[in-house]
A = this chain, B = another copy of it.
Amino acid sequence: MDAPFHNKVYIEIVKKIRYMIEQDGLKKGDKIPSERELSERLHVGRSSVREALRALELLGLIETRRGEGTFLRDAKTNRLVELLSSFILQDEKAIKDVKETKFLIEMDCLRLIIHKKTDEKLKNLMKLVQEDLIQDEEFFLNIVKLADNHLFYRIWLILSDFYRSLNMDQGPFEKRNYEALIEALLTSDEKNVLEAYKKLRKLSI
């Protein structure tokens, strides 16, 4: 119906749904119109609407509950990773890239933190470590958040999912390394910070 010229209908629908979400200011957990309603409002067949929704679902951007409806989802836990990893990550190089990218971004975040006033929050994080309340992934989730760069945050989340799905042996959680990293951050000395990080990650470079 809509654009037989170039784009496929379901792609148009994806865009329109995204636009709709933006317009109506929908948040995570909010309900989006039913398939039948979308079908009518957009003047397309329900099957096309479903193709768009299924794609978005596979990406983890929406969640459908039979008998209830379709809801926006917190993109944090997405199946995207599972899928892509099973299709892509056989490649040695790709795995290496994921790891490398994740570590480099973590280092960038550390650098960003140095130039911000985050002592208070760092001390809170320190407490969490000392009280054995968090481990590696959550620790760096906090770090990345402190860096206050939403893009890095999103990218890191995906990479972290990937990384987890690789089931790489990380060795035990050595608390003192994490404590040392925070201490280094509190000194605001880049060199110290990076050294602490490399020790934590057992990197040589």
Contact = CB atoms under 8 A, between A and B. Distances in A.
A152 interface: yes
A158 B87 CA distance: 13
A93 B76 CA distance: 10
Given A80-B83, A87-B18, A155-B84, A93 B54 contact: no
Contacts of A90: 18, 22
**Which of A90, A92, A149 lies at the interface centre, i.e. has the most chain B CB atoms within 10 A of its CB?**
A149
Contacts of A150: 92-94, 97
Contact of A155 (B18, B22, B91, B155): B155
The 10 closest A-B pairs by CB, nearest first: A55-B58, A51-B54, A55-B55, A75-B88, A101-B151, A104-B108, A97-B151, A88-B154, A97-B149, A92-B150
Interface of A: 10-11, 14, 18, 22, 47, 50-52, 54-59, 61, 75-76, 78, 80, 83-84, 86-94, 97-98, 100-101, 104-105, 107-108, 111-112, 115, 149-152, 154-155, 158-159, 205
